[in-house]
Amino acid sequence: MSIKNTPLPATRALKKLGQDIREARKRRRIPMQLAADRASISRATLSKIEKGDEGVSLGAYAKIIFVLGMIDRLANLADPSVDELGLELEAENLPKRIRISRKEKELD
């Protein structure tokens, strides 16, 4: 018996991702076997992906997302320019004042 330590929000996100991948494949009218072949993964792995299985490698997820033509979305998933929390934390750490050192004044 294995104990899962994956946080519930992460588990839910993977399940949603799997459902979204399945829907995208169906909208494109691509049968499971053909999609799996194009992604160089097994049909069983694709089935696990579409169920949101956390044991499937990110590489396998990336392959099927590529086959579906959505790889740019994966590439920008953790883009720092849209990381709201990171940008807020960075803004909080900006100095209140900026001083020029004596050495820098002498150089001017």
| Burial state string for 3-23 with b = 16 or more CB within 10 A and e = fewer than 16 | eeeeeeeeeeebeeebeebbe
Taking phi over 0 as left and psi of -120 to 50 as alpha, with beta for the rest, 69 belongs to left
Residue numbers of the domain that contains 60: 8-77
Please check whether residue 92 lies inside any domain of the structure: no
Please check whether residue 18 lies inside any domain of the structure: yes
Are 14 and 60 spatial neighbours (Cβ–Cβ below 8 Å)?
no
CATH code: domain of residue 32 = 1.10.260.40
pLDDT tens-digit readout, 49-106: 999 999 999 999 999 999 999 999 999 988 988 889 988 888 888 787 888 877 776 7
Please check whether residue 87 lies inside any domain of the structure: no
pLDDT tens-digit readout, 29-51: 999 999 999 999 999 999 999 99
Residue 3 has a pLDDT of: 54
Number of domains observed in the structure of the chain: 1
Please check whether residue 95 lies inside any domain of the structure: no
pLDDT tens-digit readout, 8-32: 999 999 999 999 999 999 999 999 9
Give the residue carrying structure tokens 């953790």. 78
